[in-house]
Structure 1
């Protein structure tokens, strides 16, 4: 009798161990993550086409004027270098060594310039300013001696305002600037796939909003160092949906205005 009991217990123990092993194996298999055989976990083919592009969207900065805007009408009222400055800064200046007005062409100082040795602009400088048309960019250099109000001492200094002449009423994208920037970001995603941040450069794209509200004269001024990105931005400016409201002069007449799209790295 005792022998039969021992055999029965042993049999029950064996069956229990087999059942536990089966349940444990089934549980482990049910917790496994199924990885498709064709999934490449260490791809060397670059970023996925479905990657999140919010990071690269930060590389489309602005649509506006090349430098700080100054209205043609306001430029015609200027008579001295101090008119280009804030009052507190102008009051620091004790003497002027020279003041030069320079026209900027293709992002470089041109030979179109007029010099003087006073804070009051010369007749030649005034003529240059007042005959410069819309979208012309200017650099005004002043070599001065100014007073440091903290120390009370005189010190040498340079002031170099950079300005772009704009119409009294600038061109406007009717759907709004935020909509325009979103359109550029969303539709340029694929062109940023192979961008390497360390090789990215500050880029600028010029275009003209004509007095008819059309986009013309689209041209790359400086490259991002990634031709695919440059070309896509050119295409998007040309294909921007919606309408532009043309710029107007002081008489209410519609005029052309050049604008700049800045992308790539932040630059001057």
Structure 2
């Protein structure tokens, strides 16, 4: 019915059209890194409803795209390693757990470096060395996400569009939180490092295709990291999040995903 949206490319033959689309997406991600500090309407207390909406979209993406794809990637591990299906699936989710642990560790380090005074924890700045550790780990995540733009399981145009929609809103939320830890350092160098990592990952993805098992592992790690970032940004009580925008983002993205699946069936 909609051949343009349903059309899929052979992943072994990276076309110029796919490269153009993913390149534009990578540039849009970089614009978020570079200019999130200019989005003044996000900087308010209580928390901006747009950030809660973005968090809802990211949560829906995790449950409707990432978790099913994690299960699908277990097949690649099974074929590549010879492990039985249960062990292969456990290996995939273990990599996702590593993603959670890596980002939880940096978030804990940031919180501890602000000091132990709970009344001042939101105003205090973390140590610059800890902030740069956080930027380094975030850059690794941006690099992998940029690479996966050209190596996704779902390569339909509408699938790419849904991925882009979820990821760019996630970046707004994540970058806004990161910048809030150290605005001066983020604006001076942090945003450029994140942008460079995103473009480098995308560029590598256009030139190099790693084995399917490696793609599955990278995707699992990214999934775990995004789960942690989403929960960190939305759940703490002191952030004064809004439920209705959060639920609205979740329901909207869920409706888009279900519509895309119905059209592709």
TM-score, normalised relative to structure 2:
0.24
Q: Which has the higher strand share?
A: 1
Whichever of the two has the greater Rg, that structure is 1
TM-score, normalised relative to structure 1:
0.23
